[in-house]
């Protein structure tokens, strides 16, 4: 597994394992999960007058939320997605471009949540960054279509099907989570990845003459 993926997986799995064990009474305290959320989840109220637990919290939470999850099922789905999409993305654009897109998408997810939500509860999970990876991939595919088959109908289909697919996926997730879904984070992350994608493309090899 490429080292960035291994580090990202560990940075997400280890906290959830610690919190799961505490939840089950194997170690620590049942207060561990509330404490982790109180200090490292994304809280919109911290940008609206709430008093932070420590000085850097309103800034750190823009990234720290992406390494906490709402349980093992949430973690498992996100890590499977991260490894599968992340491997393909690293193969396509390289390690450092992948890392930049991931971090920018996590930040974009937090910004999207802050701008669009009216919720007061904490937001956690890597989904914003993952939707950013997907958004970047979609843009690269569209660029490939424009370069290889620049017909208007082909381009329209290349844009339409990912929008329909991602919208449908969010609706399904919203239903499965009984409405407890941070779609604002997904949208923000996806837009961040898509906007950054053109600058992260590898140049095609020069043609031979």
Distance from first CA to last CA of the chain, Å, rounded? 38
**Is there a catalytic annotation at residue 127?**
yes
Instruction: Identify whether 39 is a catalytic site residue.
Output: no
Catalytic residue among 39, 118, 186, 207: 186
Kindly report the three-state secondary structure assignment for every residue of the chain.
Answer: CCHHHHHHHHHHHHHHHHHHHHHCCCCCCCCHHHHHHHHHCECHHHHCCCCCCCCCHHHHHHHHHHHCCCCHHHHHHHHHHHHHHHHHHHHHHCHHHHHHHHHHHHHHHHHHHHHHCCCCCCECCCHHHHHHHHHHHHHHHHHHHHHHCCCHHHHHHHHHHHHHHHHHHHHHHHHHCCCCCCHHHHHHHHHHHHHHHHHHCCCCCCCCC
The dihedral through the CA atoms of 172, 173, 178, 179 has a sign that is: negative
Catalytic residue of the set 127, 153, 178, 207: 127
Question: Active-site residue numbers?
Answer: 127, 186
């Amino acid at each position: 597994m490429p080292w960035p993926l291994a580090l990202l997986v560990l940075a997400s799995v280890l906290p959830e394992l610690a919190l799961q064990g505490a939840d089950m009474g194997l170690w620590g305290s049942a207060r561990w999960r509330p404490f982790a959320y109180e200090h490292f989840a994304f809280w919109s109220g911290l940008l609206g007058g709430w008093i932070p637990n420590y000085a850097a919290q309103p800034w750190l939470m823009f990234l720290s939320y992406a390494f906490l999850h709402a349980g093992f099922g949430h973690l498992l789905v996100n890590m499977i997605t991260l490894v599968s999409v992340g491997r393909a993305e690293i193969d396509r654009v390289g390690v450092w471009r992948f890392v930049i897109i991931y971090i920018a998408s996590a930040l974009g997810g937090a910004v999207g949540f802050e701008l669009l939500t009216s919720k007061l509860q904490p937001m956690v999970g890597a989904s914003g960054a993952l939707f950013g990876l997907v958004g970047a991939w979609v843009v690269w595919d569209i660029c490939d279509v424009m370069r290889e088959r620049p017909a208007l109908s082909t381009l329209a289909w290349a844009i339409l099907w990912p929008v329909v697919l991602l919208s449908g996926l969010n609706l399904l997730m919203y239903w499965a989570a009984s409405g407890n879904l941070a779609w604002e984070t997904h949208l923000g992350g996806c837009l961040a990845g898509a906007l950054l994608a053109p600058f992260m493309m590898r140049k095609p090899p020069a043609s031979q003459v």
